[in-house]
Amino acid sequence: MTKKRGLGRGLSALLEDPGTDITAHHASPDASAQRVAGNIASIPIGQIEPNPFQPRTTFAPEAILELAQSIKELGIIQPVTVRKLGYDRYQLISGERRFRASQVAGLSEVPAYIRIANDESMLEMALVENIQREELDAIEVAISFQRLLEEVNLTQEALSEKVGKDRATVANYLRLLKLPPEIQLGLRQRQIGMGHARALITINDPAKQAELYRRIVESQLSVRQVEDLARVDKRTAGRGASTGKKLSAARHKDLGKELSNMFGTRVAVKQADAGKGRIEIAFRNDEDLERIKRLLERR
């Protein structure tokens, strides 16, 4: 007897349940009539096009082959999500790894949850789904956060709620995009970790950041070692800068934005002509003040 492949047993039973009236195309001449928004249906792979908003840019071939083998043996346990573009045309929203592995496994169709989404909603769903479910590298996460802020017009507070991370974590990821390209590439290739990168961010000079990054890679420095070296650099830079020279207004503005992102609230940087100054952190209420206090204690 030929083994039926392509769907997991539980999912296959759901799709074949007459009460769901979803896959009646096996007995109906008009299969597309059953493929409407809100349903789960088996859709021919050739009718699905990739997601142009996919935040993941690299897929490990070994992982795809491993997943393809699992699909051959067990079927697809979790449906992909698509949006309907037109008659028998669909576009992937999420589940690209499963989709690619299904192609490698030789499936002719995949189970899919069909929904209606405009481009903005589709981008948001794809980004959030990937951030929560896929092992993106830190830079891919940071880029996804940035796109959600800029292209979907989310606030940092709304973004943190959607992805299930606090605002300080979101801010730390966004700060990675300020690192030199060499260091960002190192993060993508996992030559350094998030802890190393956070320590490097505290160094203001990009050339010194790059120099310390190379030391990390060559000497396999631990996060604690990098934090210690960054603190030494900061103290040295502080002594060199204590000449009374005032920062430019543009630099004040940039620092204010960075600190605002870090604390999730308005931060003003003010400096007198002699070089001394103060930082003002705004808070809305006692609860917000406690939140800021906890963030300061972590650093």
pLDDT for 95-151, tens place per residue?
888 899 999 999 999 998 887 766 667 667 777 776 766 567 888 888 878 877 876
Instruction: Label residue 167 exposed, middle or buried (CB < 10 Å: 0-12, 13-18, 19+).
Output: buried
Of the pLDDT bands very low, low, confident and very high (cuts 50, 70, 90), residue 299 is: low
| Pick from 175, 112, 139: nearest CA to 57 | 139
The sheet that has 80-86: what strands, in order across it?
Answer: 40-44, 109-115, 80-86, 89-94, 48-49
Within 10 Å of residue 204's Cβ, how many Cβ atoms? Answer: 12
pLDDT digits (tens, 9 = 90+) for 30-39: 454 455 555 6
Would you say 45 and 103 are in contact if contact means Cβ atoms under 8 Å apart? yes
Q: Which residue has the higher pLDDT, 257 or 14?
A: 257
Question: Per mean pLDDT, which range of 75-79, 93-97, 148-152, 213-217 is the poorest?
Answer: 148-152
Q: Within the chain, where are the H helices? A: 9-16, 61-74, 96-105, 119-133, 138-151, 156-163, 167-175, 181-188, 194-201, 206-219, 223-241, 249-263, 286-298
Instruction: State residue 200's pLDDT score.
Output: 93
Q: Within 176-205, where are the H helices? A: 181-188, 194-201
What's the CA gap between 22 and 38, in Å, rounded?
10
pTM over 0.85: no
What is the fold of 125-252?
Arc Repressor Mutant, subunit A (1.10.10)
Class of the CATH-defined domain 9-118: alpha beta
| From 62, 66, 96, 227, active-site residue | 96
Of the pLDDT bands very low, low, confident and very high (cuts 50, 70, 90), residue 26 is: very low
Quick one: CA dihedral 202, 232, 291, 128, positive or negative? positive
Instruction: State residue 146's pLDDT score.
Output: 82
pLDDT digits (tens, 9 = 90+) for 171-212: 889 999 889 888 988 998 889 998 999 999 999 888 899 999
Instruction: State residue 48's pLDDT score.
Output: 93
Instruction: State residue 12's pLDDT score.
Output: 39
Among residues of the chain, what percentage have pLDDT more than 70?
73
The DSSP call for residue 95 is -
Residue 280's Cβ-side half-sphere holds a number of Cα atoms within 13 Å equal to: 9
Same CATH fold, 125-252 and 9-118?
no
What b/e sequence results for 211-245 when a residue is b if at least 16 CB atoms lie within 10 Å of its CB, and e otherwise? ebbeebeeeebebeebbebbeebeeeeeeeeeeee
| Pick from 81, 90, 76: nearest CA to 31 | 90
Q: Identify the residue whose tokens are 């698509």.
A: 82
In this structure, the chain runs to a length of 299
Q: Is 297 one of the annotated active-site residues of the chain?
A: no
Q: How far is CA 128 from the centre of its chain?
A: 7
Domain positions in the chain are 9-118, 125-252, 253-299
What b/e sequence results for 90-111 when a residue is b if at least 16 CB atoms lie within 10 Å of its CB, and e otherwise? bbbbbbbbbbbbbbebebebbb
What's the CA gap between 127 and 148, in Å, rounded?
8
Instruction: State residue 155's pLDDT score.
Output: 83
Predicted confidence (pLDDT) at residue 9 exceeds the cutoff of 70: no
